[in-house]
Amino acid sequence: MPDWTRLCTLLADDPELPGSVHLAATDPQAYLATQADPLLGVEAGAGAAEPVDPWNALIDGLDVADALAYLDPEDIGAELAMALGEVARVCRSGADLEPVADITAGLEPAIRRAEEILAAFDLCLLQLEEDTDACPLVVADIGHVEEIVALAAGAGREVRPVA
């Protein structure tokens, strides 16, 4: 079984995330029960006909933990700067993303500039595998990149540095 706990710990500073993803991996019905939200019209066990993928639980949990910047390929620097500005690790670092917001030439140049800025804080961007055309990014400590990539591979998924 993949080491979901370690992967979660490296990707986010949320103490609830490892337990939630572990639950999705080991007891999908119990995980689905935790996802119930009557205010949103989501009943306990909703989606029970579909298998629970711990990777999707990880991505959802990263989003809830303010550890995920979720972008579309056609986004530009302003959207990247806004999304990264809400990521907890970026907020704590004090990184100034204004130079990223000024890039209008597309997402790739904006990502390269964000990488340069985050590197000064020993942080980097990693892209998570997802089935859509979206670009889910997390901010990780540079020193943990190889371990994160290996743990994701052990779970049959891909995480790759963007630069």
The string of pLDDT tens digits covering residues 91-107 is 999 999 999 999 999 99
Q: Tell me the whole-structure pTM to 2 decimals.
A: 0.89
Tokens of 157: 């998924």
Please compute, for residue 62, the number of CA atoms within 13 A of its CA located in the half-sphere on the CB side: 29
**30 near 23, Cβ under 8 Å?**
yes
- pLDDT for the residue 41: 46
Kindly give the parts of the chain with pLDDT less than 50: 39-42, 44-45, 47-49
| Backbone angles phi and psi of 131, in degrees to 5 | -75, -15
- pLDDT for the residue 1: 74
d(CA 69, CA 42): 24
d(CA 103, CA 30): 44
d(CA 79, CA 135): 12
Indicate the angle between helix axes 77-85 and 107-119, nearest 10 degrees.
40
Q: How many CB atoms lie within 10 A of CB 160?
A: 14
**74 near 133, Cβ under 8 Å?**
no
CA distances from 152 to 6, 96, 158 (A): 10, 30, 6
**58 near 4, Cβ under 8 Å?**
yes
